[in-house]
């Protein structure tokens, strides 16, 4: 959808829901451009969690009293709301975890240790986050499986011809990031799912940077597993989501054991609760689930098409301004339909960490480092990069503040 077709956001109204954006340091107002790491949390989400603690706080699925019943309903309805948001077929396909990383580990241990062995292959991409790369690397080492990597070409996109070579009848799992947290690349995950399924493989999609920023339909993608985190989508920390096709989740053994995920326990054996509870042992993140539901409501009230258009417009503006400077190296595709709302770059002769420190002096919060993609940075030939990432409350004026900080760094190191 073109930006012209999408109504622009009322950023002034939106910003009023984020008191943290009014913070100032040494008299200079904060510019927060580290949204790919964690977005800020609006008042409606904070209020929903506060109301839960003030009015409903109790453990779920274990009590007959009123508070426990109310908490259980709220927790279950959060699953329903998230399922609807991503196009899942009911709460049975939505497992709450701590974050995307735990979702990846749940599948890697519950499915990988059971199904992988010598001769099997796990196919990743060279742009994978460590949550995917390290996890499958270690599971492969335990099981004797081989890990293969789909190449990233010089434009920052996946080499799809190489993808078709890598994914074979020996491939058991394809794990791919939907939107790269370093390059901003939006990968053709539905096409990759088709290729994987043609070879009898499953596909796991890391949607940590996608669900917060664009409409996502897991059924349309035909993902077998899909994961994302609350804290990157205006929600609370400490809660993530694992979507899995129901028939696959039903066949999986639990990854963690304890109370809350059992049906019956004897001294000799145990049986498991129905989905999704068999993958949610112990006291869950109930308040965080309430907050996640509120975040979904909040984003849908804005409209995910508008969220996507707004952040991509800001990223395109930042990219185009930086591309006009002869001493800035930019990573990932040029602005377009296969680029999301972040910009990673380096300023010549200035280490990314030094640049981030200077930006902090200007009260502009950006990220610097390898962004949990060390192998990708090795391929790019740099130790680190700076990253500015945008969300619904950011403005063009804040991008200009970013550019001013970069100019100061340029002058300081010249």
Q: Which residue intervals of 10-117 are DSSP H helices?
A: 11-15, 43-55, 66-86, 100-107, 113-115
The span from the CA of 272 to the CA of 8, in Å, is 48
| Six token digits for residue 18 | 């984020």
End-to-end CA distance of the chain: 42
CA-based radius of gyration for the chain: 22
SS3 367: strand
The span from the CA of 281 to the CA of 295, in Å, is 24
- Give me the long-range contacts of 194-197 (CB less than 8 A, separation at least 24): 194/222, 195/163, 195/164, 195/167, 196/123, 196/167, 196/171, 197/222
The span from the CA of 110 to the CA of 66, in Å, is 35
What lies within 8 Å, CB to CB, of 132 at 6+ separation is 104, 124, 175, 176, 177, 204, 206
Of the candidates 306, 289, 274, 341, the one whose C-alpha atom is nearest the C-alpha of residue 83 is: 289
The span from the CA of 413 to the CA of 366, in Å, is 19
The span from the CA of 230 to the CA of 208, in Å, is 9
The span from the CA of 36 to the CA of 389, in Å, is 6
Bridge partners (DSSP) of residue 174 are 123, 203
Catalytic (active-site) positions: 372
């Amino acid at each position: 959808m073109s930006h012209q077709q999408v109504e622009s956001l009322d950023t002034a109204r939106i910003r009023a829901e984020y008191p943290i954006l009014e913070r100032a340091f040494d008299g200079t107002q904060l510019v927060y451009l580290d949204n790919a790491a964690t977005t800020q949390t609006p008042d409606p989400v904070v209020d929903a969690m506060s109301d839960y603690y003030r009015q409903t706080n109790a453990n779920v699925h274990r009590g007959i009293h009123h508070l426990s019943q109310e908490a259980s309903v709220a927790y279950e309805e959060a699953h329903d709301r998230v399922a609807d948001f991503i196009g899942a077929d009911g709460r049975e396909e939505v497992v709450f975890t701590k974050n995307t990383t735990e979702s990846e580990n749940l599948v890697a241990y519950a499915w990988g240790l059971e199904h992988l062995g010598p001769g099997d292959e796990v196919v990743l991409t060279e742009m994978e986050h460590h949550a995917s790369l390290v996890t499958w690397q270690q599971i492969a080492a335990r099981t004797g499986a081989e890990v293969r990597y789909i190449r990233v070409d010089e434009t920052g996109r996946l080499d799809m011809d190489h993808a078709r070579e890598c994914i074979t009848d020996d491939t058991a799992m394809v794990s791919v990031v939907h939107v790269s947290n370093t390059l901003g690349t939006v990968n053709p995950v539905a096409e990759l799912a088709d290729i994987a399924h043609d070879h009898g493989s499953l596909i796991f999609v890391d949607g940590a940077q996608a669900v917060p920023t664009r409409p996502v339909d897991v059924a349309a993608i035909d993902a077998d597993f899909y994961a994302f985190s609350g804290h990157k989508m205006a929600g609370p920390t400490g809660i993530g989501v694992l979507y899995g096709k129901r028939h696959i989740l039903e066949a999986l053994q639990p990854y963690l054991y304890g109370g809350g995920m059992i049906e019956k326990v004897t001294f000799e054996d145990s049986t498991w609760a129905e989905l999704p509870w068999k993958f949610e042992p112990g006291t869950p993140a109930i308040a965080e689930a309430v907050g996640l539901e509120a975040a979904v409501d909040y984003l849908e009230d804005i409209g995910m098409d508008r969220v996507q258009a707004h952040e991509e417009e800001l990223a395109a503006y930042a990219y185009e301004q930086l591309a006009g400077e002869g001493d800035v190296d930019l990573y990932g595709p040029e602005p377009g339909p296969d680029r999301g709302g972040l910009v990673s770059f380096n300023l010549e002769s200035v280490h990314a960490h030094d640049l981030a420190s200077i930006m902090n002096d200007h009260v502009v919060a950006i990220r610097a480092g390898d962004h949990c993609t060390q192998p990708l940075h090795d391929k790019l030939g740099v130790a680190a990069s700076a990253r500015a990432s945008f969300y619904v409350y950011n403005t063009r004026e804040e991008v200009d503040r970013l550019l001013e900080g970069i100019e100061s760094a340029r002058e300081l190191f010249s």
